[in-house]
Structure 1
Amino acid sequence: MKTPVKSLISGLAPVLVLAIAALALPAAQAQTAAPAASAAPAGAKKIIRYAFRIAETSFDPAQITDLYSRTVAAGIYDAPYEWSFLAKPMQMRPATAAALPEISDDFKTFTIRIKPGIYFADDPAFKGQKRELTAEDYVYSLKRHYDPRWKSGNLYILENAKILGLSELRKKLIAEKKPFDYDTPVEGLKALDRYTFQIKLAEPAPRFISSNFTDGSFTGALAREVVEFYGDKIGEHPVGTGPYRLAQWKRSSRIVLARNPNFREVYYNETAPEGNARLQAIATKLKGQRLPMVDEVHISIIEENQPRWLAFLNEEHDLMEEMPADFAGSVIPNNQLAPIYAKRGMQMVRYPRADVAVSYFGMENPVVGGYEPHKVALRRAISLAVDVDREIRLVRRGQAIPSQGPIAPETSAYNPKLKTVMSDYSLAQAKALLDLHGYVDKNGDGWRDQPDGSPLVLQYATQPDQQSRQLIEQWNRNMKAINIKIEFSAAKWPENLKSSRAGKLMMWGVGWSGGPDSDTFLALGYGPNKGQANHARFDLPAFNKLYEQQRGMPDGPERFAVMADAARLMVAYMPYKVHVHRIFTDIAQPWVVGYHRNIFVRDFWKYVDVDLEAFSRSKGAAQ
């Protein structure tokens, strides 16, 4: 599932980065002179160590709404299907399913058969017995999103799909003030036998399975007895059939995942794209290895970029995920790994993320919201005053491209040739729009007022981290240039998320990432998604109609044309100022084998290996 993502930038100066790197270099050079380290001890664990920039919240699929909790949960729970790791274009394949789904001609009925002999990780809830995965586990886990007890942040996705009977059952039980009844049969979701379940929808949904059943953190299977055993603490006790289990957890500090001994036999068998020598070499080298290849995954929570980067340079971490843009000039000059790091054998993987970085306007806010011409003019003027090129150059250090609308790169309907006013920067046009619609200085204090004479003051929510501080400096500069007063309120990201879902924020800057289908990004503007994907609370009937129309169409030019029309409405009404699409760079240590970033596969750990001898040599050389 998809949820807002915050991007952090450290204040570490490039000169300091180079100085640190220079200090690290002699140890790397000493590898040629130091005695060779002994081979890795027999039985040594293979461990992948890295850091999240934001703390996790819960590991219950019915309650997760953030990227980082989803990443962990994706390695614990199994959806029926998964995306291939190396192939491009993306290919959906069975995970716990025995085969691809059986889909009716009208795209309303989906039948999924589960492989026998798949088992959950051991847990006290099972009272010493091995617990096999069944079709009923998927039925139960989907129903949990409808149970008001769990306050699912992803319920809107399933309700939009209109699974027959489930929303009706939920509403009925809420009206009667009764707990959700998991045993009441519904037409749209049932187990046909021990290993087969079926879903029926009220409307066609050609991508229902690929969009929703390839992510274990959303539609992964939980055992009912585990949920009942742990109750409200289920988010602290994830038990799934995936490759890893939660071994240790110190909230907001450290997460340790260990290999699940009960994980089924799965072997590395990836097909790399033609012409990509690096990926072809990985596919050849790892072919036939049993997954997962690493024994443990250690995840630290380090919010600021400087200590994360130093932990990687000091070889305390094996991976630097999403290298801070502040360091781009010294670490990847001209988007190439600097020789000082290349000589150490580090690996660089650069990739566009299917995401958008946006600032939204609360459409129900009396100052910036509304659909009247003067309110639309205000938002468009603010957008025109945002110098995106300067933001990319100074804050994002060139690691982004200007956005033309809500649809992200790497997704089905993205048009790289599209040009809209979303990326335009013109102070003259911004001032003219404001003047024309009555946003002028009426009291002589130097700041523009609203047409009725009341003060015009923007309230922008932000976070107390380095990149957020740099971004609000740009906002302050941009708004000062058109004489609009803007104030900022800083809070931790989870606090802002809670306020945003409740519709309490006037403006907030966030990121949004999603899957291969562009529907994920149009969902930002769909009216019924208010308080979920739709943080702006945009609700335009013309847009809603187009969104619903494309959702029922098969992929192809006709559907993409409808999606483009919907995107144009979002540009015209400007509920979101879509700033950029970000470009990321990961850097891995030399001993990490097979590292690749597939932006649609969260749990990459099971596809990488660790060369223990290379790791031991590095440690020996550094001593």
Structure 2
Amino acid sequence: MMKTIKHSLAIVLVLLFLPPPVFAAADPGKVIHTVFEASDDGFDMVRTQNYYSGWVADAIFETLLTYDYLARPAKLVPNTAESMPQISEDGKTLTFTLRKNIFFTPDPAFKGKRRELTAADYVYSIKRLVDPANRSPSANFVTGKIAGLDELAEKAKKSGRFDYDAPVTGLYAPDRYTLKIHLSRPDSNFLFALAYGGLAAVAREVIEHYGTESRIHPVGTGPYMLAQYVPRSRVVLVANPDYRGFTWNFESSGDPGDDEIVRDMKGKEMPQVGRVEIAIVEEEQSRWLTFQEGKIAFDKLPQLAAPLVLDGDKLKPEYAAQKLRLYRMIEPEATFTTFNFRDPVVGGFSREKIALRRAIAMAYSVEDEITLLRNGQAIKAEMIVPVGVVGHDPSYRSSIGYEPELASRLLDHFGYKRQADGYRTMPDGSPLLLKIRTEASASSKIVSEIWKRGLDRIGVRVQFDVSNFADNVKDATECRLMMWGSAWHADYPEGENFLQLLYGPNAGQGNHGCYQSAAYDALYKKAMALPSGPERHALYVAMNRQMEADTAWSLHVSRVRNWLVRPWVKGFKKHPILQSDWQYLDVEK
């Protein structure tokens, strides 16, 4: 509480001495109240890939490129860059020119000086991803891609110190506003990586001033700044009065509802919303009650409420009468349960361990999840690369299905013997006990019940250890969990973003099961050397089959999201990649 008070006082002092705003459109009286269904993990996106952290961080920090708000499929556009980069004929050299007069929000780390964003800030921020001390789960965005960067990281591993002042042949700023990136090989996805929040610009002075505390003291150049932060409870953002602003000028993509959005928003100076208040409410029932009371501007319809609210893919008359708007989409995501390959019970590549994981996966009823938990608002995830992401094969069907009887015979064959109580032992006679980490929410309890019912059928005892989402992410990143149910939402719309989650060198940095398969890694490297297209996508299929052969994941679903929007919110259209959308919205007071 004292930290929160001190931080709030610091914000007030900063606001008193701000220079005159360049583009003061935001109205403090326009407030968006919203909720997150799980907690963040701070806002240093080099150190975390927490979905909710990214949602906030993307409103505070800025990347070189971003996405057109309305365009579908997702389309990259300049952000802090003046234009899309110049690309050399061989496709390996990218040259960016930054916009001038973009400033970080004032902070004591700048010692009273107004701090302009420069190309050197992007050089520093990208280097942070490969600093071994940061153990960044997003290092794969640049590892093996920028000439000379891996060598700098290797020197740091040997010396114990990362030299941020050392030159890198493939990453430098020849002048204040020019950034040069030389790729090791052409990479058609690298521009998408540059729009991801982990590659947003931070100021070196801030990181060095606050150290690890910078995760709760974010200082960026974006449309919003952190005004209040109570971990795992409340986040408040206020419009950045030093933000340059922009004019809402997006064109309809032809999707239903786009024309209305354009009529409501075109020509407005943005951002309009002056304050965003976010509450962390993990229980679906509580979120739904809060929304019904009119206290939330927009939210995902809780799955438990779908039968009450929806008539197929439309609102029932009583909800349509409230002038609520429904925005419906299949998330570009996959939900899954990870197996820890370093765990003595479920880990390893011996035939009996693969058989155990396969049997466990075959005991989970995805259809029960879709019916009992999702209320029909989900589709079965057949492959790692989900619907809506480049590289997804709509004809692909997983080789792992719900077959508890076959799973039982598989365990019998490999020596997992049933005892008098109906539960099995390991082949050596020692107890077989699974430990699945979960959360306290009602939806997590239903998933646990589905697991328990299926595992009981095949005679495998299970224990559910309950913690919170942020701590689970941390433990999973360090490969400390035997099994954990998670989800991955596309950071950019290409299959590589999902397949890297199982790449061996990413163990401990996003590869939460520490899955290290020589066969999978070889396919991954071969795919990454190819441009996006049929040949590369055929390798994606082969990687899926290899994952299934080893059963590194138990794949579950992709969720159908039904966003309910109050009539006073204008301009809402959920983007498949962008999470922070407050800067594109307006509200009627």
Fold match (TM-score > 0.5): yes
Question: Is 1:467 aligned to residue 467 of structure 2?
Answer: no
Distance in 2, matches of 1:124 and 1:439, equals 62
Alignment of 1:532-611 (within 5 A): 532-611=509-588
Check 1:494–1:446 CA distance in 2 against 1; reply closer, same or farther (3 A cut): same
Displacement after TM superposition at 1:233 (Å) = 2.4
Give the 3-state SS of the residue equivalent to 1:247 in structure 2.
strand
> Partner of 1:55 in structure 2?
39
> Partner of 2:290 in structure 1?
311
Distance in 2, matches of 1:432 and 1:583, equals 35
Displacement after TM superposition at 1:104 (Å) = 3.2
Question: Is 1:400 aligned to residue 378 of structure 2?
Answer: yes
Give the 3-state SS of the residue equivalent to 1:258 in structure 2.
strand
Which string of whole-angstrom CA distances, capped at 9 and with x for unpartnered residues, describes residues 31-62 of structure 1? xxxxxxxxxxx976111110112222212232
Q: Letter of the aligned partner of 1:393 in structure 2?
A: T
Distance in 2, matches of 1:236 and 1:454, equals 45
Which string of whole-angstrom CA distances, capped at 9 and with x for unpartnered residues, describes residues 188-215 of structure 1? 21101111111223343221121x1112
Give the 3-state SS of the residue equivalent to 1:185 in structure 2.
coil
Give the 3-state SS of the residue equivalent to 1:181 in structure 2.
coil
Contact kept in structure 2, 1:384 and 1:430, CA below 8 Å: yes
Distance in 1, matches of 2:342 and 2:177, equals 47
Pick from 436, 440, 451: which aligns with 2:413?
436
Pick from 115, 140, 149: which aligns with 1:166?
149
> Partner of 1:342 in structure 2?
320
Distance in 2, matches of 1:229 and 1:86, equals 38
> Partner of 2:465 in structure 1?
489
Q: Letter of the aligned partner of 2:146 in structure 1?
A: I
Give the 3-state SS of the residue equivalent to 1:597 in structure 2.
coil
Question: Is 1:510 aligned to residue 483 of structure 2?
Answer: no
> Partner of 1:201 in structure 2?
183
Check 1:257–1:596 CA distance in 2 against 1; reply closer, same or farther (3 A cut): same
> Partner of 2:258 in structure 1?
279
Pick from 192, 195, 204: which aligns with 1:214?
195
Give the 3-state SS of the residue equivalent to 2:45 in structure 1.
coil
Distance in 2, matches of 1:379 and 1:531, equals 21
Contact kept in structure 2, 1:405 and 1:570, CA below 8 Å: no
Q: Letter of the aligned partner of 2:345 in structure 1?
A: V
Contact kept in structure 1, 2:246 and 2:269, CA below 8 Å: yes
Distance in 2, matches of 1:597 and 1:137, equals 30
Aligned-residue Cα RMSD (Å) equals 2.0
Q: Letter of the aligned partner of 1:175 in structure 2?
A: K
Distance in 2, matches of 1:150 and 1:434, equals 41
Contact kept in structure 1, 2:132 and 2:156, CA below 8 Å: no
Distance in 1, matches of 2:211 and 2:363, equals 50
Which string of whole-angstrom CA distances, capped at 9 and with x for unpartnered residues, describes residues 541-568 of structure 1? 1211111111122122121111111112
Which string of whole-angstrom CA distances, capped at 9 and with x for unpartnered residues, describes residues 9-29 of structure 1? xxxxxxxxxxxxxxxxxxxxx
Pick from 210, 218, 238: which aligns with 1:238?
218
TM superposition score normalised by structure 1:
0.86
Check 1:125–1:44 CA distance in 2 against 1; reply closer, same or farther (3 A cut): closer
Distance in 1, matches of 2:259 and 2:266, equals 10
> Partner of 1:254 in structure 2?
234
> Partner of 1:295 in structure 2?
274
Percent identity for Structure 1 against Structure 2: 38
Displacement after TM superposition at 1:413 (Å) = 1.0
Structure 2, unmatched stretches of 5+, are: 1-25
Deviates more, 1:537-546 or 1:106-115: 106-115
> Partner of 1:364 in structure 2?
342
Displacement after TM superposition at 1:476 (Å) = 0.7
Displacement after TM superposition at 1:148 (Å) = 4.1
Displacement after TM superposition at 1:495 (Å) = 2.4
Give the 3-state SS of the residue equivalent to 1:164 in structure 2.
coil
Pick from 109, 114, 128: which aligns with 2:98?
114
Distance in 2, matches of 1:381 and 1:588, equals 42
> Partner of 1:477 in structure 2?
453
Distance in 1, matches of 2:541 and 2:486, equals 23
Distance in 2, matches of 1:64 and 1:456, equals 33
Distance in 2, matches of 1:86 and 1:465, equals 33
Distance in 1, matches of 2:471 and 2:250, equals 41
Contact kept in structure 1, 2:59 and 2:223, CA below 8 Å: yes
Distance in 1, matches of 2:139 and 2:172, equals 18
Contact kept in structure 1, 2:223 and 2:245, CA below 8 Å: no
Displacement after TM superposition at 1:149 (Å) = 4.4
Distance in 1, matches of 2:433 and 2:522, equals 34
Check 1:96–1:356 CA distance in 2 against 1; reply closer, same or farther (3 A cut): same
Q: Letter of the aligned partner of 1:86 in structure 2?
A: L
> Partner of 2:17 in structure 1?
none
Question: Is 1:68 aligned to residue 47 of structure 2?
Answer: no
Alignment of 1:351-430 (within 5 A): 351-422=329-400, 424-430=401-407
Which string of whole-angstrom CA distances, capped at 9 and with x for unpartnered residues, describes residues 445-483 of structure 1? 422222333322222111222111111111110011112
Check 1:111–1:374 CA distance in 2 against 1; reply closer, same or farther (3 A cut): same
Displacement after TM superposition at 1:401 (Å) = 0.8
Q: Letter of the aligned partner of 1:294 in structure 2?
A: V
Which string of whole-angstrom CA distances, capped at 9 and with x for unpartnered residues, describes residues 230-263 of structure 1? 3332222222111111122222222221112222
Question: Is 1:139 aligned to residue 123 of structure 2?
Answer: yes
Pick from 168, 172, 184: which aligns with 1:186?
168
Distance in 2, matches of 1:162 and 1:427, equals 44
Which string of whole-angstrom CA distances, capped at 9 and with x for unpartnered residues, describes residues 313-364 of structure 1? 11222112x2211111102242321222211111111111111111111122
Structure 1, unmatched stretches of 5+, are: 1-41, 613-623
Check 1:143–1:429 CA distance in 2 against 1; reply closer, same or farther (3 A cut): same
Deviates more, 1:342-351 or 1:140-149: 140-149
Question: Is 1:525 aligned to residue 508 of structure 2?
Answer: no
Deviates more, 1:500-509 or 1:572-581: 500-509
Give the 3-state SS of the residue equivalent to 2:268 in structure 1.
coil
Contact kept in structure 2, 1:524 and 1:534, CA below 8 Å: yes
Check 1:573–1:232 CA distance in 2 against 1; reply closer, same or farther (3 A cut): closer
Check 1:329–1:297 CA distance in 2 against 1; reply closer, same or farther (3 A cut): same
Distance in 1, matches of 2:321 and 2:497, equals 41
Distance in 2, matches of 1:144 and 1:155, equals 9
Displacement after TM superposition at 1:299 (Å) = 0.9
Alignment of 1:6-21 (within 5 A): none
Distance in 1, matches of 2:270 and 2:28, equals 17
Question: Is 1:82 aligned to residue 66 of structure 2?
Answer: yes
Distance in 1, matches of 2:157 and 2:360, equals 42
Give the 3-state SS of the residue equivalent to 2:29 in structure 1.
coil
Deviates more, 1:484-493 or 1:581-590: 484-493
Give the 3-state SS of the residue equivalent to 2:270 in structure 1.
coil
Displacement after TM superposition at 1:404 (Å) = 1.1
Distance in 1, matches of 2:91 and 2:37, equals 40
Q: Letter of the aligned partner of 2:50 in structure 1?
A: D
> Partner of 1:270 in structure 2?
250
Deviates more, 1:576-585 or 1:121-130: 121-130
> Partner of 1:500 in structure 2?
476
Q: Letter of the aligned partner of 1:433 in structure 2?
A: L
Displacement after TM superposition at 1:181 (Å) = 2.2
Q: Letter of the aligned partner of 2:195 in structure 1?
A: T
Displacement after TM superposition at 1:128 (Å) = 4.0
Distance in 2, matches of 1:228 and 1:534, equals 28
Distance in 2, matches of 1:272 and 1:176, equals 53
TM superposition score normalised by structure 2:
0.91
Give the 3-state SS of the residue equivalent to 1:88 in structure 2.
coil
